[in-house]
Structure 1
Amino acid sequence: MSSAPLVEVENLHIGFPREEGGFHEAVKGVSFTLGREKLGIVGESGSGKSLSTRALLGVLPASARVSADKLRFDGIDLMRASPRQRRMLRGGRMNMILQDPKFSLNPVMRIGSQMREAIQIGDRRLSAAAARKRVLEMLEAVHIRAPERVVGLYPFQLSGGMGQRVMIAMMMAREPDLLVADEPTSALDVTVRNQVLSIMDELVARRGMGLILISHDLRLVSRFCDRVLVMYAGRIVEALRADELERASHPYTKGLLSCLPSIQGSSDPLPVLQRQASWSEPTCPP
């Protein structure tokens, strides 16, 4: 594993204009690094998980105001990179698996055409036959049966789980250096979810890539990732090794863990997390 971090984020702020004037700050001074590893980011909806990673890929809305002391990918200063340079990185060396395929797949293009387009954008010398072969290989890799039939379908003809697997196959086909997976298995059953996570795990190991997994599933993150960042109200409030998640010290992380149901637990109602404004202040360095 290389000693130089693949991703460096320091003091990242993201804000959006309010209708009544001024700005709402959604991400408040986030800092972290990513090596050739699997990093999990957890926290409730609205905590800033997806926004922080979208800033890396440069896919925030034009209205977003982004500032950072450092926002770097493999030594490239993303705050100063040109739009063309960002486009070259995005979809090639950096890729993102989105949560809902209904809003990610083009509804008027067949699955095979969309996947071939994504593959050939990065290598225009690749023949149509070679691109089609790569498409079928990736669909088989995410355990889609009869891929020859699926490539001729439109997105509305796929189930939610199959659409999600198509998205995962499309984003992994280019074998990026950085893969951001935003709730990638939320539409999958447990068996297929484990298969897909195994595929991503193999890609990280074989390619030496960096993976950021955004999830609400603390148990999944603790088993799959190397490190975990816990976000609350736009800040990172705790950072720890994934296998030490049960030893978390921050009250917010402890509250999230205590809300998880357990088969061996009592039949008493699960506790309700009582949030506090003071939790938005970090208790340990990221």
Structure 2
Amino acid sequence: MNTPDKVRVKIVTLRGNGFYSEKVDPQNPPYILLAMVSNLNLGYRYRVEVEVLGDYGCVSPGVGSGDICGAKATYAFMAHEFSDSDIAAFMLMPGNYSVSIVECDLEGNCFEPLPSIGRIEVLDHTVVNFTLTDLSLPEKIPLRAHTMMSNVTITLSSQQATVKIPFGVSLGNVSEALKNVEVTLDIDESYGITYNVIRGNTTIKRLTPGEYYPSEFILEITDTGDPGGYLAYRIAITSAEGEYTGETYSSNDMERSSISASIIFCGLNATQTGQGSLVCELP
């Protein structure tokens, strides 16, 4: 690839004085524009756009990126903490530019939270500032319990069996990261069987916004007499700690702290002739 030609820019004032720039080329514009963006909203994506106004100007994203400058450049980033801040850097030739910021949620809905800076004249290194309106935390943190085995029927091939109950915990995007998320398995009702919890309460060390954590509880089930039985259970998130705020959240602070489900157990009722029928204990 051919190396771009280097040029010097001559500026002549109304008094007739002439000034010459250092040698520049389209890969190394002489001036840096810093767009400082503060008070970002967690879980949102942003992009800063710089566009040439008029006939003169050339802009490239980043500093020392080696990209050839053009009529428009974009810098994209994502907020990882509440009230986060970031700096978008561009390299520019002398000229007039507009600077704007776009905010997008994870569903792709975008808008301009602030009016663009309509016209700035760049004849030196330049700094612009965007301070966004703070989005407060939702009334309930978007923490939700899920079960992948809701209201199912299980056939017992023997008097005793091991049953796995898969579950998940999800954290929505507009939230701080959480730590020490406590999840419990509560048995609300049972008959026709006895149970022993092999793997019960779980602590999730850390959940980040947008993350889904899968796991499972394990029970040992024993049929107590006549074939069949019934078990009603509830998966509950009892507490969590905010990584950013340090606040302790209870189940009342969560969007869906618990979810209930049930299991119907069926067993073979054998007869003296060796024939048998499948018996299910219905609630």
More helix by share: 1
Higher RCO, 1 vs 2 (CA within 8 Å, ≥6 residues apart): 1
Instruction: State if a TM-score over 0.5 links the two structures.
Output: no
Question: Over alpha carbons, which structure has the higher Rg?
Answer: 2
Q: TM-score per shorter chain, which class?
A: under 0.3
What TM-score results when the alignment is normalised by the length of structure 2?
Answer: 0.19
More strand by share: 2
What TM-score results when the alignment is normalised by the length of structure 1?
Answer: 0.19
